Chains A and B, each alone.
Chain A
């Protein structure tokens, strides 16, 4: 009962977190991505771009890029418009402008595995294949769905929408300034090269590691977690090629090959065209996605290492 009263008073003063009940404004910009897909980095980039006078760190990023599960209702009301809101949620039609961050699910799986170890939700010996079972079934975060459900729902409903910007983590790594300029144009934020360069510099993996050391304990993402595993880890792509056994790669590609192909991620255990055959998403995304995926496969076939520098050329627009 006392708990109820405290909640009611907090609510009346706007100190509670709005969560899913957040009121969406027509000019809100949503930054949506599945966990461990570069969301935090993108938030640092955007915050440094839009608020150059603020020093952005793990301690205050949620005040600048609003997070309904962390930021107080009062701060939602006070935030300058257009507000930038972060989510890990699946498709939500209330938002008219959406930046959708995606990352190769084979890397997402590994990154999530290490993050759950950091949070002490699994121990170091937890078998990877059992983890992949749960990852594929979407059991790790039931309210967010699996990677395929989460990403698939956004692509299914919004792929051709003018208010939808697809941002691949791999492209962001390969040419950060160029991708941030795309984001800035989409959100109509200042996009002069100096300001972009400054935002990229201030959001580098090194700067983020520094901030993690100093302010990590003030962040919900890190608070109380193991200190021997960093939040800002490799900040690279393609780690799965070394660390994920082929049998597990095959399971991920078998479950989500069509979505991966639509996003231009190379498949190594199955043919891209068979993955897209009779795929509803392939049909909805139209020929463009299929061609982009096929083109990427051709380009990759000509190179030995399949490095990510090629990603930029074949990204889906």
Chain B
């Protein structure tokens, strides 16, 4: 009882984190993705683009591009507007301006597996196949399954002006082009030099260096130091590392969605009419 009272008092005074139940403003922009889909990298890219005077690090990123779950209510109130914030939420109608990053579910599953080892949520000998089964069921995060999260945003917002869809794979292959699209979406004028500088300051090598220097920053705090946060920073890693059974499980769960996003299926044929699939995904650049 006393504990509840203390908690409530803290809450009404704004000293607790609001989690997903925070106040959203009309002019907020959100960088949204399912976890392990390149969100932190995108935060670095945008922070470095908008704040050339203060290079992004693992310790200042929560201030430059904050997330509601990392701040208390009163801290959140003090973030200058218009805010650019990070989120992993499934569809939230209050978010009016959204940069949504999607990544191949097969790579996401693998990345989350290693991240959970780093977080000590699973042991090194935890079977990968079992993890993938739970991943498909949406049992490994609070943000819905990968398919729930991606589909809930795409179906509702895909054709809206306040929505920018980015594929992690395109960002890896054409970082400058994709960051230019982000700058246009944010309505900021940037020179090629500033773009190049932001990309350079957010490179995988640079981020690895920063991770080494800031091992106790929020994303990596209290985690195993023998497994890095910035891992391969590549796409298609699943091809060599994911058991065939797991690939089949992921593909059969989300075949139409993956095909629509341009992710080629290795084992499962897309179920719906292929003609429609080929012409789909207008916001996604062809490869």
A: which residues have CB within 8 A of B?
Answer: 4, 7-9, 11-12, 19-21, 90-91, 93, 138, 142-146, 148-150, 152-153, 155-158, 277-278, 280-284, 286-287
Q: Say whether B155 contacts A152, CB under 8 Å.
A: yes
Q: Across the interface, which residues of A come within 8 angstroms of B272, CB to CB?
A: 283, 286-287
Q: Say whether A91 contacts B13, CB under 8 Å.
A: no
Q: List B residues 136-188 near A (Cβ within 8 Å).
A: 138, 143-145, 147-148, 151-152, 154-158
Size band of the interface chain B makes with A: 35 or more
Q: Across the interface, which residues of A come within 8 angstroms of B152, CB to CB?
A: 90-91, 153, 156-157
**CB closest chain-B residue, reference A284:** B256
Q: Say whether B280 contacts A283, CB under 8 Å.
A: yes
Q: List B residues 81-111 near A (Cβ within 8 Å).
A: 90-94
Distance (whole angstroms) from the CB of B145 to the closest CB of chain A: 7
Q: Say whether A148 contacts B138, CB under 8 Å.
A: no
One of A4, A138, A156 near B93 (C-beta < 8 A)? A138
Q: Say whether B21 contacts A93, CB under 8 Å.
A: no
What are 19 sample pairs from A and B whose C-beta atoms fall under 8 A apart? Answer: A7-B8, A8-B8, A8-B12, A9-B5, A12-B4, A93-B143, A138-B93, A142-B94, A145-B156, A146-B93, A149-B93, A153-B91, A153-B155, A156-B91, A156-B156, A278-B276, A278-B280, A280-B280, A284-B257
Q: Say whether B276 contacts A21, CB under 8 Å.
A: no
Whether B232 is near chain A, meaning CB under 8 Å from some CB there, is no
Distance (whole angstroms) from the CB of A270 to the closest CB of chain B: 16
**CB-CB under 8 A for A283 and B277, given A152-B156, A156-B154:** yes
Task: Tell me the complex Cα distance, A277–B152, Å.
Answer: 19
Q: Across the interface, which residues of B come within 8 angstroms of A153, CB to CB?
A: 90-91, 152, 155-156
Q: Across the interface, which residues of B come within 8 angstroms of A146, CB to CB?
A: 93
Distance (whole angstroms) from the CB of A163 to the closest CB of chain B: 11
Task: Tell me the complex Cα distance, A20–B23, Å.
Answer: 13
Whether B279 is near chain A, meaning CB under 8 Å from some CB there, is yes
Q: Say whether A7 contacts B156, CB under 8 Å.
A: no
One of B4, B92, B158, B257 near A11 (C-beta < 8 A)? B4
Whether B260 is near chain A, meaning CB under 8 Å from some CB there, is yes
Q: Say whether B91 contacts A90, CB under 8 Å.
A: yes
Whether B1 is near chain A, meaning CB under 8 Å from some CB there, is yes
Task: Tell me the complex Cα distance, A278–B260, Å.
Answer: 10
Task: Tell me the complex Cα distance, A91–B151, Å.
Answer: 11
Q: Is the interface of A mostly helix, strand, loop or mixed?
A: helix
**CB closest chain-B residue, reference A158:** B148
Q: Across the interface, which residues of B come within 8 angstroms of A149, CB to CB?
A: 91, 93, 156-157
Task: Tell me the complex Cα distance, A150–B91, Å.
Answer: 9
Distance (whole angstroms) from the CB of B100 to the closest CB of chain A: 13
Q: Say whether B12 contacts A142, CB under 8 Å.
A: no
Q: Say whether A93 contacts B90, CB under 8 Å.
A: yes
Distance (whole angstroms) from the CB of A1 to the closest CB of chain B: 10
**CB-CB under 8 A for A150 and B260, given A8-B5, A93-B138, A284-B151:** no
Q: Say whether A12 contacts B5, CB under 8 Å.
A: yes
**CB closest chain-A residue, reference B273:** A287
Q: Say whether A4 contacts B158, CB under 8 Å.
A: no
Task: Tell me the complex Cα distance, A156–B151, Å.
Answer: 5
Q: Across the interface, which residues of B come within 8 angstroms of A286, CB to CB?
A: 256, 271-272
Q: Across the interface, which residues of A come within 8 angstroms of B151, CB to CB?
A: 156-157, 280, 284
Q: Across the interface, which residues of A come within 8 angstroms of B143, CB to CB?
A: 93
Q: Across the interface, which residues of A come within 8 angstroms of B154, CB to CB?
A: 156, 280
**CB closest chain-A residue, reference B96:** A142
Q: Across the interface, which residues of A come within 8 angstroms of B92, CB to CB?
A: 90
